[in-house]
């Protein structure tokens, strides 16, 4: 049997657009001799539709769109993710479903059984868990159909699997399934593509059966979906591979296990770069945004943000703003201009020295007798934020904020200043990884000046300021952040890993003290296993101090 995996990038609520794309791919799969085409989880609605699922008009529009799709496609069988109603009157009103149909007739319906409610997922808010399903006979093959989380029940790979008391894959295998298909909307984070591959290859070997995995791609608010659909032989070897971070269609022959093996990202830096490009491209397209603006400081963060923006949107749609102050070095201005020239983007220079002096004059009497401190530093950052928003309002450019995860974690950023923006593109990229991704960018096209990599990071808000005057070295800071935020280790365990007690205590105290800033930050794409923008839900006001005992 020849089966097409259609790795699409649906837009939430764009029902006609989604089914138009899907119908076109059905014709393409037919032209290549495929018997069945597979679309990802919730392909009709887009994923995740969130509280739109609580709107009856949205639900009915989705159901009507699916009916139009069923009526429209002829000549090929289709397996498609969509919503269906729960008519039992018990539990949530909807199922997350996979529907197999052909020539206008529904052949089989499966409901998602394992509904994740951890990290970025909240599916129990909307869906009722499906009952145990059974294989369906299709052209003499017993298909075992599962939806995303239904395969994430292997304790070796998934720390949350203990919450599930059933195993849909094992159940289908016991009922005679001989070919497994999983439709998915699995968001990207570093390391996750490899984890998915290990799970599915392990399941293929365990049940001596081929597995086909069809994942969605695209960016949706804070989530990025990497696609990377593939087919696995019964011995665990991959025999077909779709590209990552882009739409694709691959045709898998399950008789001789043949199919295309397309290239995917070769390193974490390439994955992050592709994820951020895709996230920005989809976010702006779906929000109707044509162009972006950002401050160019001459530092690594704004350089990487600008390079990604140009790749995603084209240099004609990126506008750079240089806003030097009395503390801005000549080297920073030179590096910002060199970057803009290399990227071929338009820029404007708006010095803030006179504006800053006006602020100080206005506040002189009120601040009399007090030393200059972080207040004056923040005023400069907020002047820059105001100028960027003025440009945004006048010309319609969305402001990209340029703060990285390390800064945002410890509050080394100014609310209503450098945090200003509509999208925080690198907000989940630690500072040490920023440098690595920037090196990857330069390996393709050396647009970031070499000096940007070598000079000490500085906010340049006071004389001779360096980031490490206020923070631990970034390799130390990022090491603590990874252990505390992503691995969720208690502070004492982090100290046991070799980090200085004072550094651990200071970093964690800064994380806790700056929760209020992150609540007001712009959204940004998730690329690590635990991002601030989504999935991490901590109270602002509390008195638990995890570092008090170290």
Residues with catalytic function: 41, 112, 148
521 SS3 class: coil
Q: How is residue 386 written in tokens?
A: 């105001």
- Report how far Cα 91 is from the mean position of its chain's Cα atoms: 31
Give every CB contact of residue 113 below 8 A, 6+ residues apart in sequence: 129, 130, 131, 132, 133, 147, 150, 166, 168
For CA atoms 437, 442, 447, 451, the dihedral sign is positive
Q: Are the beta carbons of 440 and 269 closer than 8 angstroms?
A: yes
**Angle of helix 431-444 versus helix 300-313 axis, rounded to 10:** 50
What is the rounded CA–CA span in Å between residue 178 and residue 323? 63
What is the rounded CA–CA span in Å between residue 492 and residue 486? 16
What is the rounded CA–CA span in Å between residue 83 and residue 45? 8
What is the rounded CA–CA span in Å between residue 305 and residue 434? 10
**159: exposed, middle or buried (Cβ count in 10 Å: 0-12, 13-18, 19+):** exposed
- HSE of 379 in the Cβ direction (CA atoms, 13 Å)? 19
Residue from 286, 188, 292 nearest 526 by CA: 188
Backbone angles phi, psi at 97, to 5 degrees: -125, 160
Backbone angles phi, psi at 315, to 5 degrees: -65, -25
Residue with tokens 């690595």: 436
**143: exposed, middle or buried (Cβ count in 10 Å: 0-12, 13-18, 19+):** buried
What is the rounded CA–CA span in Å between residue 15 and residue 134? 29
Q: Are the beta carbons of 37 and 74 closer than 8 angstroms?
A: no
């Amino acid at each position: 049997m020849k089966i097409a995996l259609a790795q699409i990038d649906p837009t939430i609520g764009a029902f006609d657009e989604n089914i138009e794309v899907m119908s076109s791919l059905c014709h393409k799969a037919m032209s290549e001799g495929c018997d069945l085409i597979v679309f990802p989880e919730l392909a009709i609605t887009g994923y995740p539709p969130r509280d739109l699922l609580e709107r009856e008009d949205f639900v009915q529009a989705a159901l009507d769109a699916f009916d139009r799709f069923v009526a429209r496609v002829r000549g090929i069988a289709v397996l498609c993710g969509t919503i269906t109603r729960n008519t039992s009157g018990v539990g949530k009103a909807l199922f997350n479903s996979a529907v197999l149909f052909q020539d206008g007739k529904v052949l089989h319906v499966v409901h998602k059984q394992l509904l994740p409610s951890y990290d970025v997922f909240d599916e129990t808010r909307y869906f009722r868990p499906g009952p145990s399903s059974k294989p369906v006979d299709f052209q003499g093959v017993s298909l075992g159909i599962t939806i995303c989380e239904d395969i994430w029940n292997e304790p070796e790979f998934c720390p949350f699997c203990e919450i599930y008391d059933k195993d849909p894959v094992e159940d289908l295998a016991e009922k005679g399934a001989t070919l497994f298909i999983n439709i998915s909307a699995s968001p990207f984070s570093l390391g996750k593509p490899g984890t998915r591959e290990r799970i599915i290859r392990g399941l293929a070997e365990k049940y001596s059966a081929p597995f086909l995995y069809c994942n969605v791609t695209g960016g949706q608010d804070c989530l990025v979906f990497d696609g990377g659909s593939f087919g696995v032989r019964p011995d665990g070897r991959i025999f077909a591979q779709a590209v990552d971070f882009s739409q694709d269609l691959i045709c898998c022959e399950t008789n001789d296990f043949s199919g295309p093996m397309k290239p995917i990202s070769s390193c974490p830096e390439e994955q992050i770069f592709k994820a951020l490009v895709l996230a920005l491209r989809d976010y702006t397209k779906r929000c109707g945004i044509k162009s972006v603006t950002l401050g160019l400081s001459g530092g690594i963060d704004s350089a990487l943000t600008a390079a990604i923006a140009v790749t995603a949107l084209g240099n004609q749609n990126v506008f750079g703003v240089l806003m030097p102050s009395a503390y801005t070095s000549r080297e920073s201005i030179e590096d910002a201009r060199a970057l803009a020239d290399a990227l071929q983007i338009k820029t404007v220079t708006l010095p803030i020295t006179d504006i800053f002096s006006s602020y100080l004059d206005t506040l002189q009497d009120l601040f009399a007798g007090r030393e200059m401190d972080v207040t004056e530093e923040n005023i400069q950052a907020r002047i820059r934020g105001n100028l960027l928003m003025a440009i945004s309002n006048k010309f319609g450019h969305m402001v990209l904020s340029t703060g990285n995860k390390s800064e945002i974690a410890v509050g080394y950023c100014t609310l209503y200043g450098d945090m200003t923006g509509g999208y925080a593109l690198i907000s989940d990229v630690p500072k040490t990884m920023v440098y690595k991704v920037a090196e990857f960018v330069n390996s393709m096209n050396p647009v970031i000046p070499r000096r940007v990599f070598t000079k000490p990071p500085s906010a340049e808000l006071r004389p001779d300021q360096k980031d490490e005057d206020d923070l631990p070295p970034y390799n130390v800071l990022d090491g603590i952040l990874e252990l505390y935020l992503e691995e969720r280790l208690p502070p004492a365990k982090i100290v046991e890993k070799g980090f200085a007690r004072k550094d651990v205590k200071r970093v964690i105290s800064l994380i806790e003290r700056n929760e209020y800033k992150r609540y007001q930050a712009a959204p940004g794409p998730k690329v690590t296993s635990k991002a601030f923008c989504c999935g991490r839900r901590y109270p602002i006001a509390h008195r638990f101090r995890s570092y008090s005992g170290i």
